[in-house]
């Protein structure tokens, strides 16, 4: 998707649509940007700076036509932890480092890898983040005083519990007004910026009726400047880089996941198709540049992107307009923002937390009572009670273990024989019985991938089944889609075992990947190219032509249709040989 192609044929109608969408999304973004900044432990204006700089660059360089970028709720616990542990300056450096990681991921074309993160993991940590955001706003909702910020959920709840006596009735009333107006406006006028309307109503009510009795942005953080901050490069040192590499990686991964999920949602709403690698590069550029202007890490915002689309956005220009709208508000109306009560911000973030909680998906996966439920619950609990880094790592590891076990359990090895009653005498497992099993030819159907998780089971089952020491072992591998080095080693072990008993291994119906792997590693040559067959019937015909016919004499198994004729031939040939 070339940059010029995104604006090819641009016309007045598209400009009108982009202006409308950009204006509405810009208005919606302002209270969210300030709220996310405050929740992340930094001043509210840094959220505004992020919307302006990152929002513009993500739309300009990103891989989605409709993506709206900026600070998001998903980042809140991560950024708060960095601020509390290292400070605001180090947060800027971590954001820049995350941007570099994202650009490298895009250049290396790793955008598609994000889709391999299991859904239970993303739902688990998203729901956990929602709990953390919601709980962190209880103090502002109640107007609690002398509260200290904490990174983890339990410490936050203990802090709230120890300060409940300081609750402020005026803050509670202000918060309830904001919440009620926002919810009512959302239901009655879904196209209007409900959060902004709720913020304005509750702020006016607090100024008129509770002036000086409710904590505001100005009284807590100072006045919001009406200009962008001067260009400033964060101080660099090897110690700082080493210290922040893990937080930066978490920011990059979370930002990549969030932005690509948002792009996928946009694709579903519009029928368009995003470029995942370009999206990562665009996100990376935005996160490299934004800290130079005091902004915090940013990513694609699903709710704002959806709002952009619903209001008629035609091109990425709407995202740039949204950033311009926020810049104009900053330049013209910044002093008014200082009067916004913190109690008015709390319900906005609580609503965001509720909307991002994925509660329906959470309950659906949990009710299924499968291994995915365990992965979901583990990721969720670790997100809430430890931190996101541990949660995602544990979730991915657990999901990997579960996947390997499930793949192992799907491997089926069954001993089979032809069923004369079926068309083309298809081989079936039910044909193998105690008195109906050829002592010289053993046929096995293998279904499933032969990889490190299943190779040992495959080898054990084959060894248990091959107690007859057959002359020929035929492996039907038409349903083996993949083989790795461990699977190849198991196959080699079986080959060596059969050869020790003077037997031969035949393979039929092998798929391209397993055949190429065996060829590359020399096992094809060891088995013998002449022992590979396209169809099972050809392999059986070869087997019957290479039997020890003297062992057929007196055999009562009659495993193959040809057995009776072979015995007659042996009976005829025996006297002449004598």
Distance of CA 334 to the CA centre of its chain: 38
Which tens digits make up the pLDDT trace of 293-307?
Answer: 999 999 999 989 999
The answer to whether the CB of 223 falls within 8 A of the CB of 338 is yes
- Assigned domain for 516 exists: yes
Residue carrying structure tokens 């509660």: 359
Domain identity same for 449 and 356: no
Q: What is the pLDDT of residue 1?
A: 43
Domain identity same for 347 and 422: no
Which tens digits make up the pLDDT trace of 80-113?
Answer: 999 999 999 999 999 999 999 999 999 999 888 7
**Token pair of 54, please?**
């990152």
Instruction: Count CB atoms within 10 A of the CB of residue 454.
Output: 23
- Assigned domain for 406 exists: no
Residue carrying structure tokens 């009620």: 180
What is the arithmetic mean of pLDDT over 184-209? 92
Q: What is the pLDDT of residue 300?
A: 94
Q: What is the pLDDT of residue 335?
A: 86
Domain identity same for 316 and 442: no
Dihedral angle computed from the Cα positions of residues 158, 163, 165 and 166, in that order, rounded to the nearest 10 degrees? -150
What is the arithmetic mean of pLDDT over 310-338? 93
**SS3 at position 429:** helix
Q: String of b and e for 537-564 (b: at least 16 CB within 10 Å)?
A: eebbebbbeebeeeebeeeebebbebbe
Q: String of b and e for 98-120 (b: at least 16 CB within 10 Å)?
A: bbebbbebbeeeebeebeebbeb
**What is the band of 287 on the pLDDT scale with cuts at 50, 70, 90?**
very high
**What is the band of 227 on the pLDDT scale with cuts at 50, 70, 90?**
confident
- The upper half-sphere exposure of residue 477, i.e. CA atoms within 13 Å in the direction of its Cβ, equals 27
Report angle CA 222, 143, 171 to the nearest 5 degrees.
Answer: 95
Domain identity same for 552 and 495: yes
- Assigned domain for 94 exists: yes
**Token pair of 540, please?**
């059986």
User: Is the confidence at residue 373, as pLDDT, over 80?
Assistant: yes
Domain identity same for 301 and 430: no
Looking at 302, 337, 363, which one is the last position of a domain?
Answer: 363
Domain identity same for 151 and 267: yes
Q: What is the pLDDT of residue 232?
A: 87
Domain identity same for 61 and 132: yes
The answer to whether the CB of 424 falls within 8 A of the CB of 153 is no
The answer to whether the CB of 98 falls within 8 A of the CB of 249 is yes
- Assigned domain for 379 exists: no
User: Is the confidence at residue 3, as pLDDT, over 70?
Assistant: no
Which tens digits make up the pLDDT trace of 258-285?
Answer: 999 899 889 989 988 999 999 999 999 9
Q: What is the pLDDT of residue 548?
A: 84
Which tens digits make up the pLDDT trace of 58-67?
Answer: 999 999 999 9
- Assigned domain for 84 exists: yes
What is the arithmetic mean of pLDDT over 166-183? 96
Q: Among positive and negative, which fits the CA dihedral 86, 88, 93, 94?
A: positive
The answer to whether the CB of 578 falls within 8 A of the CB of 558 is no
DSSP character at residue 10: -
**What is the band of 34 on the pLDDT scale with cuts at 50, 70, 90?**
very high
- Assigned domain for 457 exists: yes
- Assigned domain for 134 exists: yes
Per-chain mean pLDDT for the chain: 91
Pick the closest to residue 251 from 381, 59, 60, 92 (CA basis).
Answer: 92
Domain identity same for 431 and 557: yes
Domain identity same for 422 and 358: no
**SS3 at position 78:** helix
Give the contacts of 14 (CB within 8 A, at least 6 positions apart). Answer: 314, 315, 317
Residue carrying structure tokens 């790592």: 393
Q: What is the pLDDT of residue 85?
A: 93
Q: How far apart are the first and last CA of the chain?
A: 82
**SS3 at position 300:** strand
Which tens digits make up the pLDDT trace of 398-434?
Answer: 999 999 999 999 999 999 999 988 888 899 999 999 8
Looking at 297, 331, 363, which one is the last position of a domain?
Answer: 363
**Token pair of 86, please?**
């290292």
Q: What is the pLDDT of residue 190?
A: 87
Pick the closest to residue 18 from 317, 326, 301 (CA basis).
Answer: 317
Domain identity same for 57 and 162: yes
Residue carrying structure tokens 């060891």: 526
What distance in Å separates the CA atoms of residue 231 and residue 95, rounded to the nearest whole number? 16
Dihedral angle computed from the Cα positions of residues 466, 467, 472 and 473, in that order, rounded to the nearest 10 degrees? 0
| Residue range of the domain that includes 200 | 14-363
Q: Could you tell me the CATH number of the domain that includes residue 419?
A: 3.30.750.24
User: Is the confidence at residue 514, as pLDDT, over 90?
Assistant: yes
Domain identity same for 57 and 200: yes
pTM > 0.85: no
User: Is the confidence at residue 531, as pLDDT, over 50?
Assistant: yes
Domain identity same for 260 and 351: yes
User: Is the confidence at residue 553, as pLDDT, over 90?
Assistant: no
- Assigned domain for 473 exists: yes
**What is the band of 152 on the pLDDT scale with cuts at 50, 70, 90?**
confident
What distance in Å separates the CA atoms of residue 33 and residue 253, rounded to the nearest whole number? 21
Residues in the chain: 578
How many domains would you assign to the chain? 2
What is the arithmetic mean of pLDDT over 358-370? 94
User: Is the confidence at residue 8, as pLDDT, over 80?
Assistant: no
What distance in Å separates the CA atoms of residue 502 and residue 473, rounded to the nearest whole number? 11
Looking at 301, 336, 363, which one is the last position of a domain?
Answer: 363
């Amino acid at each position: 998707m070339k940059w010029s192609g995104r604006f090819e044929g641009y016309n007045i109608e598209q400009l009108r649509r982009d202006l409308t969408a950009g204006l509405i999304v810009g208005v919606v973004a302002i209270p969210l940007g300030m709220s996310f900044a405050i929740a992340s432990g930094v001043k509210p204006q840094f959220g505004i700076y992020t919307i302006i700089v990152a929002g513009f660059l993500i739309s300009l360089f990103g891989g989605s036509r409709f993506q709206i970028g900026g600070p998001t709720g998903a980042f809140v616990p991560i950024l708060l932890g960095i601020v509390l542990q290292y400070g605001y300056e180090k947060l800027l450096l971590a954001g820049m480092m995350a941007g570099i990681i994202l650009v490298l991921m895009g250049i290396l074309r790793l955008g598609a890898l994000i889709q391999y993160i299991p859904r239970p993991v993303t739902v688990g940590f998203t729901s956990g983040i929602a709990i953390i955001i919601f709980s962190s706003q209880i103090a502002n909702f109640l107007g609690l005083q002398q509260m200290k910020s904490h990174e983890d959920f339990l410490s936050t709840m203990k802090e709230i519990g120890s300060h409940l006596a300081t609750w402020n009735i005026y803050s509670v009333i202000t918060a309830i007004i904001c919440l009620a107006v926002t919810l009512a406006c959302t239901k009655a006028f879904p196209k209007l910026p409900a959060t902004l309307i709720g913020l304005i109503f509750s702020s006016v009510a607090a100024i008129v009726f509770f002036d000086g009795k409710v904590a505001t942005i100005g009284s807590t953080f100072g006045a919001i400047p009406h200009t962008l901050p001067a260009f400033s490069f964060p101080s660099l040192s090897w110690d700082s880089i080493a210290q922040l590499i893990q937080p930066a990686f978490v920011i990059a991964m979370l930002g990549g996941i969030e932005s690509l999920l948002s792009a996928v949602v946009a694709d579903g709403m519009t029928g368009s198709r995003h470029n995942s690698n370009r999206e990562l590069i665009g996100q990376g550029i935005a996160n490299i540049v934004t800290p130079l202007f005091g902004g915090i890490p940013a990513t694609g915002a699903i709710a704002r992107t959806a709002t952009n689309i619903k209001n008629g956005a035609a091109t990425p220009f709407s995202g740039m307009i949204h950033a311009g709208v926020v810049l104009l508000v900053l330049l013209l109306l910044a002093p008014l923002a200082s009067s916004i009560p913190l109690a008015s911000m709390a319900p906005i973030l609580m609503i965001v937390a509720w909307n991002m909680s994925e509660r329906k998906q959470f309950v659906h996966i949990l009710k299924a009572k499968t291994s995915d439920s365990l992965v979901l619950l583990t990721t969720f609990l670790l997100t809430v009670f430890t931190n996101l880094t541990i949660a995602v790592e544990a979730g991915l590891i657990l999901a990997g273990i579960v996947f390997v076990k499930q793949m192992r359990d799907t491997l089926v090895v069954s001993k089979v024989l032809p069923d004369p009653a079926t068309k083309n005498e298809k081989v079936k497992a039910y044909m193998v019985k105690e008195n109906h099993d050829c002592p010289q030819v053993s046929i096995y159907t293998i279904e499933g991938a032969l990889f490190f998780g299943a190779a040992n089971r495959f080898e054990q089952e084959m060894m248990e089944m091959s107690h007859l020491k057959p002359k020929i072992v035929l492996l039907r591998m038409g349903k083996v889609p993949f083989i790795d080095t461990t699977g190849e080693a198991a196959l080699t072990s079986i080959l060596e075992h059969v050869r020790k008993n003077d037997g031969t291994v035949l393979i039929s119906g092998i798929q391209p990947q397993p055949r190429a792997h065996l060829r590359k590693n020399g096992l094809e040559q060891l088995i013998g190219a002449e022992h590979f067959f396209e169809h099972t019937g050809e392999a059986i015909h070869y087997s019957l032509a290479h039997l020890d016919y003297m062992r057929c004499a007196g055999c009562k198994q009659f495993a193959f249709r040809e057995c009776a004729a072979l015995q007659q031939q042996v009976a005829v040939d025996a006297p002449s040989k004598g």
